[in-house]
Structure 1
Amino acid sequence: MSPILVLSIIVGYFLVLLAISYFTSGNNDNATFFTANRQSPWYLVAFGMVGASLSGVTFISVPGEVGNTNWTYLQFVMGNMVGYAVIALVLIPLFYRLNLISIYEYLKDRFGIKSYLTGASFFLVSQTIGASFRLFLAALVLQLAFFDVFGIPFYITVLVTIILIWLYTFRGGIKTIVWTDTLQTTFLLLAVVISIFVIVNHMGLKATEVFSVVSKSELSTIFDLNWRSDRNFFKTFLAGIFITIAMNGLDQNVMQKNLTCKNKSDAQKNIFWFSITFFLSTLLFLALGVLLYKYAVDQQVLLPERSDEVYPFLALNEFGTIAGIVFLLGIVAAAFSSADSALTALTTSFCVDILDLQKSKKDQKKTRMLVHIGFTIIMFLVIIIFNAINDTSVVSAVFKVAGFTYGPLLGLFAFGLLNKRSVKDRFVPLVCILSPILSFILDSNSVEWFFGYQFGFEILLVNAAITFLGLLLISRGSIKN
């Protein structure tokens, strides 16, 4: 593709996002930035959340990972569906009843200030790492499609990308995100559908033959029943449930959008419809992965060694100009949809949870903007570090890290919801720090200690269980009603 064409696509898309930001940030105060004044239509939030949840990880990594692990990722997504039901039926009513801006305020009411700050801090670390991983993928594609042609280094690509995101989020915050996510989800889903159509056309397949080709492929194997495998169905399914609860229900990034709905009922409808759309969208991406590898075999195309580069490589070099344009729109939409909401959520959590900005006598708007800039810089640095050390599929890396960083959050909320015991608040940070350390030691030695067993995504459950046990050890009787 022509570098000028690539640049035109990126600039055009960014101008549309900037226009949305302009029209949605008229009442530019903290209430608008943090909660969108709780006036978001539930169906708009539900559709927009699809793009944010799929992100660059699904858009690039999931189709590429089909070549390594077949359709076993769908086992995880099946668990996701159960997790979303728990969020809708348990967490949404709780957060609306407490009228929260940051969901970690629950921990302050339940346990104390140190537990509250610990939960918020774990979110800040988790979200910074996860969002940076996702944005890394988009920057990598832009590097291959445009910046490499001019010899521009990768760190400049990352810097430009993250500055663009900051520009359209710094004023309107979550109110802008709800609307831009809707646009970005549309582009993302159009990209995968058109990509499938182009591949099918290149391979000379009839529409009626596509289902047969995908379903009969060895790459479409879903279930792995080997108990030693890190993709075993039972542990992957369970991990899907609890990672969804942790990374969505206990994540300020996702829940901040849900809490912009007018009431509890609308937020629950949003979760249920979103989860169905998310599942169907994942099926599309997995089907795309099978078709990508079949095309490469049929056309004798030598694929890149890294699975994350398979889809970008074929889309930009094999499928023609239209497919390349659609792919670029999709990856930019996926990256922006994930990173913009993460940046807004990080700003919200730090301002509300760490700085207690609502009670501050300082210039609240100025402080919020400085925090927004600070997290922009931090994400940039994390992406550069990740690029230097990454040697695995990003989809695996994101969830592996989540197992260690979201585990304490899951343990904290589970302990708070499942019993009425109070804890010695001053010891909670110690418990939450030791839990990931012990989990990492178990994960690193599992093959030797547990007869060849390998932890997969279920390391999250181990981490949460250790946190829960630690809280039980420092508990001291029931709280007063």
Structure 2
Amino acid sequence: MSPTILLIFLIAYFVILIVISLVTSKNASDNASFFIANRNSKWYLVAFGMIGTALSGVTFISVPGEVGAPAGNQFQYFQFVLGNAVGFVIIATVLLPLYYRMKLTSIYSYIEQRLGYYSYKTAASIFLLSRTLGSATRLYLVVIVLQRFIFDNYGIPFWLTVLISLALIWSYTFKGGLKTIIITDTLQTFFLVLSVFLTIYFICRSLDFNIPQAFETVKNSSYSKIFFLDDFLGSKFYFSKQFIGGIFVTIAMTGLDQDLMQKNLSMGTIKEAKKNMFTFTGVFVILNVFFLSVGALLYIFAAKNGIEIPLDHITGKPRTDLLFPEIALNHLGAVPAIVFMLGLTAATFATTDSALTALTTSFCVDFLGMDKADKVNATNAVKKRHTVHIFFSILMFLVILIINAMNSSSVVSLIFTIAAYTYGPLLGLYSFGLFVKKRGLKDKLVPLVCLLSPFLCYLLASNSVKLFGGYVFSVELILVNGLITLLGLLLISHKTDAQTKF
């Protein structure tokens, strides 16, 4: 596929997003519009748009690539997805009612009211760190593809590709914020879903399969194993590890994450927010089945046509993340290549634009107190918000360069590793706030507990084979992290007669 055609398509795509931004932010450039879209979002638009935000380019490329990874991953990821679904239900029935009852703009304001000032700043700081690392990792994946298949041909260095990508995202998010994001994410999710189904069609056509034959072939292939129930101690793919990890990763990365909760809080009522979450959950599970099926079809196609997993430019080792773009852009024709680029771009930028908005919101509300700014300071507050937005764009740029230097072989595994260590303390903080009654905290010691917990988790994970008879941690490590944090909070707590409101 010609790099010039792909570049023209990319430019046209962003022109559309910028036009949408200009229209949606025309009369809505104040902070209330940027932070929570004036609390008048339509639940069905949010539910659909959240698909693109939750899936990202990692699901689009890395999950299909993992299906045929040398470790024998197959469809094991679906065990994790089933845990995700349970986590979404818990969010809808436990956390959302709390957030709506308190009329929050930043969900970390709950921690301030329940636990104290230092606990609040710690929770908000954890989010800023977690979301910056996670979103930078997701964007890194799509930039690799853009670099390899477009910008390398023009001699443009990797760092400049990253800078261009972030500048484009900033250009359509800095003014309208969440109000713009809800519309652009809806459009981008449509492109994402369309590209998944069209990709399956194009691969099936190349393999001379009709759709029923394709799914029967996938079902009977060596890639379709879902449930892994052997070797509880030594296997990272064991069902209970993936399922339990999926539940708590979802609660932490969605329910305790300002990014996705910010969209839920932009609706008028809790009833609409719950409709959004339940609808989103159903679509999320179904779409992941299709992503895994794409992965199996890619490896079947590759085996039939003698296509090897592409090698990483730096390490020279096979990189499964690059199999999908290799086949889509070089082996299926012009239209499938454009469809793939459409889906990849939509998936990844839907995640990153949302993250930049949430990071800006959290910092402005949790550290600059802009939700309390009076009308006299409104203009100055908007200027400060713009500065914060630029700052997080630059920070994400620097983090991507660091991640590129680390050169992880699979982005999906890197993301969940980051989540296990960074989101675990949030689980502990919210668990204490919600379930431990009539106990207060030595608030100034909370940051120390939240720093020690990930460190102890790292020691456990690094030595688990020796300490626990061969046990290998997977994504369930986030639960261990949360429990250690909770235990630490209990150790620095004291009895109080005060009755908690929340």
Interval of TM-score (by shorter of Structure 1 and Structure 2): over 0.9
Q: Give the structure 2 partner of residue 287 of structure 1.
A: 293
Q: Give the structure 1 partner of residue 251 of structure 2.
A: 245
Shift of 1:216: 0.7
Instruction: Give the SS at the match of 1:476.
Output: strand
Please give the per-residue CA displacement for 1:291-327, whole angstroms capped at 9, x wherever unaligned: 0000011111122110110101111111110010001
Instruction: Give the SS at the match of 1:329.
Output: helix
Is residue 159 from structure 1 mapped to residue 163 from structure 2 by the alignment? yes
Given candidates 136, 141, 144, the residue that maps to 2:148 is 144
Is residue 435 from structure 1 mapped to residue 453 from structure 2 by the alignment? yes
CA distance in 2, matches of 1:359, 1:74: 43
Instruction: Give the SS at the match of 1:190.
Output: helix
Is residue 60 from structure 1 mapped to residue 66 from structure 2 by the alignment? no
Instruction: Give the SS at the match of 1:67.
Output: coil
Q: Give the structure 2 partner of residue 299 of structure 1.
A: 305
Shift of 1:7: 1.4
Segment of structure 1 superposing worse, 470-479 or 358-367: 358-367
- How big is the alpha-carbon RMSD for the aligned residues of Structure 1 and Structure 2? 1.0
Given candidates 462, 465, 471, the residue that maps to 2:483 is 465
Instruction: Give the SS at the match of 2:495.
Output: strand
Matches for 1:74-473 after TM superposition, within 5 Å: 74-225=78-229, 226-227=231-232, 228-304=234-310, 305-359=318-372, 363-420=380-437, 421-473=439-491
Shift of 1:208: 2.3
CA distance in 2, matches of 1:418, 1:315: 49
Return the letter of the residue paired with 2:363.
F
Return the letter of the residue paired with 1:409.
L
**Against the structure 1 CA distance between its residues 209 and 29, is the aligned structure 2 distance closer, same or farther, given a 3 Å change threshold?**
same
- Structure 1: unaligned runs, 5 residues or longer: none
Shift of 1:470: 0.4
Shift of 1:479: 5.5
Contact 2:408-2:414 within 8 A present in 1 as well: no
Instruction: Give the SS at the match of 2:68.
Output: helix
Return the letter of the residue paired with 2:481.
N
Q: Give the structure 1 partner of residue 315 of structure 2.
A: none
Shift of 1:480: 1.4
Instruction: Give the SS at the match of 2:167.
Output: helix
Return the letter of the residue paired with 2:166.
I
CA distance in 2, matches of 1:221, 1:476: 49
Contact 2:441-2:493 within 8 A present in 1 as well: yes
Q: Give the structure 2 partner of residue 476 of structure 1.
A: 494
Q: Give the structure 1 partner of residue 39 of structure 2.
A: 38
Contact 1:422-1:479 within 8 A present in 2 as well: no
CA distance in 1, matches of 2:32, 2:412: 34
Count of aligned pairs: 481
CA distance in 2, matches of 1:230, 1:206: 35
Please give the per-residue CA displacement for 1:216-247, whole angstroms capped at 9, x wherever unaligned: 11111111112021111011100100100000
Return the letter of the residue paired with 1:389.
M
CA distance in 2, matches of 1:294, 1:27: 50
CA distance in 2, matches of 1:478, 1:107: 17
Please give the per-residue CA displacement for 1:326-365, whole angstroms capped at 9, x wherever unaligned: 0111111111100000000000000100121234558101
Given candidates 71, 76, 84, the residue that maps to 2:75 is 71
Shift of 1:262: 1.1
Segment of structure 1 superposing worse, 358-367 or 116-125: 358-367
Contact 2:453-2:481 within 8 A present in 1 as well: yes
Provide TM-score, normalisation by structure 1. 0.99
Segment of structure 1 superposing worse, 338-347 or 301-310: 301-310
Instruction: Give the SS at the match of 1:422.
Output: strand
CA distance in 1, matches of 2:256, 2:8: 39
Segment of structure 1 superposing worse, 73-82 or 198-207: 198-207
Q: Give the structure 1 partner of residue 13 of structure 2.
A: 13
Segment of structure 1 superposing worse, 412-421 or 110-119: 412-421
CA distance in 2, matches of 1:260, 1:189: 24
CA distance in 2, matches of 1:72, 1:15: 39
Q: Give the structure 2 partner of residue 50 of structure 1.
A: 51
The 4+ residue runs of structure 1 with deviation greater than 2 A are 357-362
Segment of structure 1 superposing worse, 3-12 or 434-443: 3-12
Return the letter of the residue paired with 2:354.
S
CA distance in 1, matches of 2:325, 2:366: 39
Please give the per-residue CA displacement for 1:72-122, whole angstroms capped at 9, x wherever unaligned: 000000001110000000001000000000000000000100000000000
**Against the structure 1 CA distance between its residues 433 and 479, is the aligned structure 2 distance closer, same or farther, given a 3 Å change threshold?**
farther
Return the letter of the residue paired with 1:276.
G
CA distance in 2, matches of 1:268, 1:109: 24
CA distance in 1, matches of 2:301, 2:50: 31
Contact 2:33-2:177 within 8 A present in 1 as well: yes
Shift of 1:392: 2.2
Contact 2:106-2:258 within 8 A present in 1 as well: yes
Return the letter of the residue paired with 2:9.
I
CA distance in 2, matches of 1:164, 1:49: 21
Contact 2:420-2:478 within 8 A present in 1 as well: yes
Instruction: Give the SS at the match of 1:219.
Output: coil
Shift of 1:151: 1.5
